[in-house]
Amino acid sequence: MITGAQIRAARALLRWSAERLAKEAKLGVATVRRADLADDAVPAMTAANLDAIQRALEAAGIQFIPQNGGGAGVRYRQRRDEADTAQD
């Protein structure tokens, strides 16, 4: 599950407002703002709403990095052409 901090970081990378994320996730702005407040915890919301937020951000190119000893985070997903170049 993603955290509020990851949602905020993903929005910052995309330069999306809460309103933009709400539109892309087909949710209310208040729902997105509540998710933002969760800091390093999983937001207190329905799994369906959290999934809608995650799917919208992933569709825009965000990859969520799980807690793996270095802390959970976000980054841009590597594009196919960048992956091909990196292997050459």
Domains defined for the chain, CATH in brackets: 4-87 (1.10.260.40)
Distance of CA 54 to the CA centre of its chain: 5
The two structure tokens encoding residue 22: 């709400």
CB within 8 Å of 1: residues ≥ 6 apart: 42, 50
| pLDDT value of position 11 | 95
| pLDDT value of position 39 | 77
How far is residue 41's CA from residue 34's CA, in Å, rounded to a whole number?
A: 12
| pLDDT(32) > 90 | yes
For residue 6, give the amino acid letter. Answer: Q
Map tokens 């949602």 to a residue: 7
How far is residue 2's CA from residue 62's CA, in Å, rounded to a whole number?
A: 12
